[in-house]
Amino acid sequence: MKRDITPEDEAKRFLKLRDDHGFTAFKWRVGAECGRDRDEWPGRTEAVIPVVSKALGDGIDKLVDGNSCYSPARAIAVGRLLEDNGIGHFEEPCPYWHPEQTAEVRAALSIDVAGGEQDCEFSSWQLMFDRQAVDIAQPDVMYLGGLHRTLEVCRMAAAAGLPVTPHAANLSLVTMCTMHLLRAIPNPGKYLEFSIEGLDYYPWQHGLFLGDPYKIEDGQATVSDAPGWGVEINPAWLEAARYKVSQLDG
């Protein structure tokens, strides 16, 4: 997701995606990443929330991501603005390494508070669930270390009575793995996180797969039943890729 985009331009591209592909939910960014209450530029958050929400209108689910921007007090104030504008999902409002702050925000708001994309240790997840910090768990299949570990977090979330809407930031294998995961667990959330950013943002996505595994029709993605993950890496993409090797001395 972009943060350096005006509210008007964000609304414009969402409307085009809605009309062209039938998307029924959109998420956009507020604040500045790990911003300590700063905005991307002064007044952007107060503008982008109502401008985008009003443009999308009724019948569209609306979500925002704070990317660890806010103190609890500021997050609650932003959350009130979200409530007033029909936005039902507030992701990572506070620094992810302070789950007690996120728990404070969750307790104060009527909308869903989500988080977990940065958390890679089971102990962190258990702490998050014990403190009732979130309404929605958002593990990242790749950040967490694969499907086995992610399934364990999904089981922990299920035991806490929570749905799972995984983090999937781009159209590499992370989204395909996430699609299969959501079909395999008993507590999937309502959404598949699906990147809308093009080659200006993720140039390496171009030609990565053979065919079109991420085709969206009527707001829906199709999970392939082909072998493996159901996709085939483009050999030409691999030939053109740069290979780097890291190693420890000694």
Could you read off the pLDDT of 90-113 as tens digits, one per residue? 999 999 999 999 999 999 999 999
Report the percent of the chain where pLDDT is more than 90.
Answer: 99
What does the alpha-carbon distance between residue 247 and residue 99 come to, in Å, rounded to a whole number? 34
Average pLDDT for residues 125-144, to the nearest whole number?
A: 98
Report pLDDT for 49: 99
In 225-239, which positions are buried (b, 16+ CB within 10 angstroms) versus exposed (e)?
eeeebebeeeeeeee
HSE value, Cβ hemisphere, 13 Å, CA-based, for 166: 31
| Beta pairing partners, 112 | 89
Q: Comparing 12-16, 17-21, 60-64, 239-243, which segment has the lowest mean pLDDT?
A: 239-243
Strand, helix or coil at 228?
coil
pLDDT digits 0-9 by tens, 194-243:
999 999 999 999 999 999 999 999 999 999 999 999 999 999 999 999 99
Architecture of domain 7-198: Alpha-Beta Barrel (3.20)
At residue 81, what are phi and psi to the nearest 5 degrees? Answer: -65, -40
The conformation of residue 205, written as its DSSP 8-state character, comes to G
Is residue 138 predicted with pLDDT exceeding 90? yes
pLDDT digits 0-9 by tens, 42-87:
999 999 999 999 999 999 999 999 999 999 999 999 999 999 999 9
Is residue 250 predicted with pLDDT exceeding 80? no
| Beta pairing partners, 195 | none
What does the alpha-carbon distance between residue 176 and residue 164 come to, in Å, rounded to a whole number? 16
Report pLDDT for 15: 99
Closest CA to 25 of 175, 219, 222: 219
Structure tokens at 238: 């691999």
Q: Where are the alpha helices (DSSP H) in 40-172?
A: 44-56, 72-84, 99-108, 122-130, 141-144, 147-159
Closest CA to 28 of 190, 116, 57, 50: 50
Sign of CA dihedral 84, 87, 93, 99: positive
Structure tokens at 67: 């990317």
Report pLDDT for 221: 97
pLDDT digits 0-9 by tens, 148-205:
999 999 999 999 999 999 999 999 999 999 999 999 999 999 999 999 999 999 999 9
* Cβ-based neighbours of 25, under 8 Å, separated by 6 or more: 60, 61, 62, 63, 190, 191
**DSSP codes of every residue in 25-60:** EEEEE-S-TT-TT--SSTTHHHHHHHHHHHHH-TTS
What does the alpha-carbon distance between residue 87 and residue 40 come to, in Å, rounded to a whole number? 20
Q: pTM to 2 decimals?
A: 0.95
Total Cβ atoms within 10 A of residue 201: 12
- C-alpha 184, offset from chain centre: 19
